[in-house]
Amino acid sequence: MKHTADRLLIRILVTLALALAFAGVTPAAAFAEAGVAAPFSDDADSADSAIDFAPGFKDYEIDAEMDSLKKTHEFVFDETSIRNPAAARPAKWIEVVLASQMIYAWQDGRVVLSSRISSGLPRTPTVRGNFRIYVKYVSTRMRGPGYNLPNVPYTMYFYRGYAIHGAYWHNNFGRPMSHGCVNLPVSFSGQLFGWAPVGTLVYIH
């Protein structure tokens, strides 16, 4: 019964956060504060098998949330549109450049935050494309074969089990290190977490 109630509470919080984001209001990061948290694994042998999900969600529920985001936000980036005038772009969006291992937070046509990252290793690559942040946690647990990491800070899921989050267990930013997630220095991850509401576009290329 408690597990069912926890899942229901998470779904209610996500729906509220999405409504606030679409209304132009930055939603409070209430998910972790609600006391509903569960471990997940972002470990996988390949991008195709990386089908783990944010705590409290199943695949069909995440797909439904992503469909809702796509219908509300039609803008997408590609290598051509990213060079379009700033007026054609969203007010806020996140760019992840895998070749240079960099992340940029764009607002009104200019970079307001940037940092080196650690993306996925060759056997567990980070997904490419246009995504939307669909849930945020101040902290969560990540575990899989050979690791069990509590209190992973400032986690923002953008596609199934793929997230942008702080990484306190290494300092090798600027080179691939992860199981597919986008690792950030902890201090920077807190800044980005506070800046990006649920619904923010994430373009990875």
Contact 103, 114 (CB under 8 A): yes
Residue 66 confidence (pLDDT): 54
| Separation CA 185–CA 187 (nearest Å) | 6
- Structure confidence at residue 58 (pLDDT): 55
The amino acid that residue 156 corresponds to is: M
Q: Where are the domains of the chain?
A: 2-204
Over residues 59-99, the pLDDT tens digits come to 555 555 555 555 555 556 665 555 554 545 678 999 999 99
Q: Which CATH class is domain 2-204?
A: mainly beta
- For residue 38, what are its two tokens? 């569960």
* Amino acid (1-letter code) at residue 45: D
pLDDT tens sequence for the chain (205 residues): 555 555 555 555 544 444 444 333 333 333 333 333 333 333 333 233 333 456 655 555 555 555 555 555 555 666 555 555 454 567 899 999 999 999 999 999 999 999 999 999 999 999 999 999 999 999 998 776 666 889 999 999 999 889 999 999 999 999 999 989 999 999 999 999 999 999 999 999 9
Q: Which of 77, 81, 79 is nearest to 94 (CA)?
A: 77
Res 163: pLDDT: 94
CA dihedral 65, 66, 69, 74 (to 10 degrees): -160
DSSP readout, 95-140?
Answer: EEETTTTEEEEEETTEEEEEEE-B-B-TTSPPP-EEEE--EEEEEE
Q: Round the CA-based radius of gyration of the chain to a whole number and report it.
A: 16
CB neighbour list of residue 164: distance below 8 Å, 6 or more residues apart: 94, 96, 103, 133, 155, 156, 158, 181, 182, 184, 189, 192, 202
Given a contact cutoff of 8 angstroms between Cβ atoms, the answer to whether 20 and 27 are in contact is: yes
pTM of the model: 0.66
What pLDDT is stored for residue 199 in this prediction? 94
